[in-house]
Amino acid sequence: MKKPWSGRFRETTRPSVENFTESLSFDQRLYPFDIQGSIAHATMLGETGLLSAAEAEAIIDGLKAVAQDMDQGRVSFDPAFEDIHMLVEHLLTEKIGPVGKKLHTARSRNDQVATDIRLWLKDAGGRLDGGLLGLQRALLEKAAACEHLIMPGFTHLQHAQPVGVAFYLMAFLEKFHRDRSRLADCLKRADVLPLGACALAGTTLAIDRERVAGALGFAGVSRNAMDSVSDRDFLAEYAFALSLTATHISNFCEDMIIWASAEYSYITIDDGYCTGSSIMPQKKNPDVHELLRGKTARVHGALHGLLTLIKGLPQAYNRDLQEDKELIFDAHDTVLASLSILAELVGHTHFNEKRLLDSTAKGFMEATALAEYLVARGIFFRDAHHISGEIVRMAETEGKTLAQLDLGAMQRLCPKIERDVFSVLSCEAILDQVKSAGSTGRAQMRSALAFWHGRLDPAS
Ligand code: ARG
């Protein structure tokens, strides 16, 4: 096949080289953006007189017809065309004749691919935000349904203090909320048009880049042509945003996996969302959660890959940059699919009230509230901490819970203790008394739920 760049070559490209260098097998998914960019470019060339009105019209109609052929699966993506940009131009010229060869005026594949991938990113970012919102809604629905449930809160995987199940779930609403804001921030920086940078230095032709930016919905045009074609920092940022989302998904799944075990049994996952063992008939495994945790690895890998890809490049464009696509496409697809299945999973996860209560009774989780009870009676916190610790030791020795201890025995350790101490020796009661902003206190949880309903409910 004759290459558009074959003028200075005496030999044709070796098939092995074609196979090794092609990107069509993976950049074909850019075709809607490539064609959209070309239509905007041709429109501008027509308006500025670099193409006649009739030429521009023929090219635009031809591009629309190519898009339709691709939409309807009538195009074979032959890797001999090298990449999506050359295939589209070839199909266009086949359709409308030699005038198709004017499309590439004042443009290079370097600024073209940088434009395509930014257009892709805007679209992908919107989808990712939708996925994050869907998961947030599923978490909020579950949190609202679990408003009355309490559970052990852990640090170091040891019982720490009692918390609401809704409080736990809303912790993840916060994480995914930050993920959405990080995504929006990254999209803002990517929102500049590189087209018109040409190969690296701009053009002698009188193009109108602002016009193209407006047509493609970019906030503005890039300021430096060399920078516009040489960097993929915006993809690294997106990969970082994806990596943190994957990390948050992984954190959540790790808890679910532990909590679904026989030792915890805090949750039950519906059968349709678990898988079995080929040898052990009794097994019901949380494989979906495990895969979600496992898939985080490839997303982090993409971030590392992109950073490494960029770091050694001389200015400006180098073919290395073609390697950006598979990394970012895979990371994006992985996280988007993860968000969607996890939203489903959340709806099919049930918290076991009885197990949570039994577990909450263990581990002396009232000890901090007991120390604070003493502080309220004038005891210095370090002393209060010590006394509460001694009371825990006494309960442990006697094989009792704190609430089962004898009042007199506690008073011998601290005379300031009175009968009302029992109001902080039950986890349920503690949640009524915790009152600091952002805490797991019942009133705070109620207002947090209202806050999230206001933010996330479809009508809002
Ligand atoms: N397929 C290439 C890429 O993805 C397009 C740009 C090629 N430019 C070039 N000068 N060879 O980066």
CA of 193 to the centre of ligand 1 (A): 17
Single out the residue of 304, 169, 176, 186 nearest to residue 237, CA to CA.
186
The pLDDT, as a whole number, for residue 460 is 59
* DSSP of 372-385: HHHHHTT--HHHHH
Give the single-character DSSP code of 14. P
Number of neighbouring beta carbons within 10 Å of residue 191: 17
Amino acid of residue 3: K
Single out the residue of 166, 355, 344, 170 nearest to residue 269, CA to CA.
344
Burial class (CB in 10 A: 0-12, 13-18, 19+), 360: buried
CA of 110 to the centre of ligand 1 (A): 6
**Ligand 1 pocket, mutate which of 319, 325, 326, 328 (most atoms under 8 A from CB):** 319
Q: Which of 156, 278, 436, 460 is catalytic?
A: 156
Single out the residue of 343, 133, 335, 124 nearest to residue 243, CA to CA.
335
The pLDDT, as a whole number, for residue 284 is 85
Question: For ligand 1, what atom is nearest to the CA of residue 321?
Answer: 12
In this predicted model, what pLDDT tens digit does every residue of 19-60 receive, in sequence order? 999 999 999 999 999 999 999 999 999 999 999 999 999 999
- Our answer to whether residue 156 is catalytic in this structure is yes
Q: What's the pTM value of the predicted model, to 2 decimals?
A: 0.95
Q: Which residues of the chain have pLDDT under 70?
A: 460
The pLDDT, as a whole number, for residue 281 is 83
Single out the residue of 168, 372, 360 nearest to residue 251, CA to CA.
168
Give the single-character DSSP code of 275. B
Q: Which of 6, 25, 52, 277 is catalytic?
A: 277
CA distances from 73 to 25, 43, 90, 386 (A): 15, 26, 17, 74
The pLDDT, as a whole number, for residue 427 is 94
CA of 136 to the centre of ligand 1 (A): 38
The encoded tokens of residue 84 equal: 């999506």
CA of 368 to the centre of ligand 1 (A): 62
Q: Is 83 in the pocket of ligand 1 (CB under 6 A)?
A: yes
CA of 79 to the centre of ligand 1 (A): 14
Question: For ligand 1, what atom is nearest to the CA of residue 83?
Answer: 1
Cα gap 224→202, rounded to integer Å: 9
Question: For ligand 1, what atom is nearest to the CA of residue 324?
Answer: 4
| Ligand 1 atom 4, closest CA | 322
The encoded tokens of residue 329 equal: 């496409």
The pLDDT, as a whole number, for residue 5 is 78
